[in-house]
Amino acid sequence: MLYYRAPLGSIEVISGCMFSGKSEELIRRLRRAQIARQRVQIFKPEIDKRYSDDEIVSHSEQKLKAIVVKDTAQLLSMLDHRSEVVGIDEVQFFDEKVVQACKRLADLGRRVVVAGLDMDYQGQPFSNTRDLMAIAESVTKNL
């Protein structure tokens, strides 16, 4: 007897403090997926306007075009059902629904790669990053 098995997705979290190379690592992973001809969609919160309005940018000036969204609902509404890899930068700035959205995308077979600060200036964990680290298949903590 054959059983249907859902495609396996994953959540990868890249976290750490400011200037630790999180966005650079995110860009590296997403570029590799593009080189492998995978369908990649990249999102960033509209609050992040540090270097560019519509790109994720590393401190070493590497860039990738991104879709700017105000919240998780808008991210999900702009998601192309054909996307195989979903990248999210500055995940700590999203609402708390982003954690369940990432889990749902992974359950649907997507590779979800997020980058975000692990703690605020007072040393308190950002809940989105913390909660995603708890359910992720892979966690990279940059120091």
CA 34 to each of CA 10, 63, 85: distance values in angstroms, whole numbers, following the listed order? 17, 14, 9
What are 113's strand-pairing partners? Answer: 12, 87
Largest Cα–Cα separation, the chain: 56
Does the pTM surpass 0.85? The reply is: yes
Q: What is the DSSP letter of 91?
A: G
Here the tokens at position 98 are 């982003």
The catalytically annotated residue of 55, 90, 96, 137 is: 90
pLDDT digits (tens, 9 = 90+) for 7-45: 689 999 999 999 999 999 999 999 999 999 999 999 999
The secondary element (H helix, E strand) that includes residue 12 is strand 10-16
Question: Known catalytic residue: 55?
Answer: no
Q: How many CB atoms lie within 10 A of CB 120?
A: 10
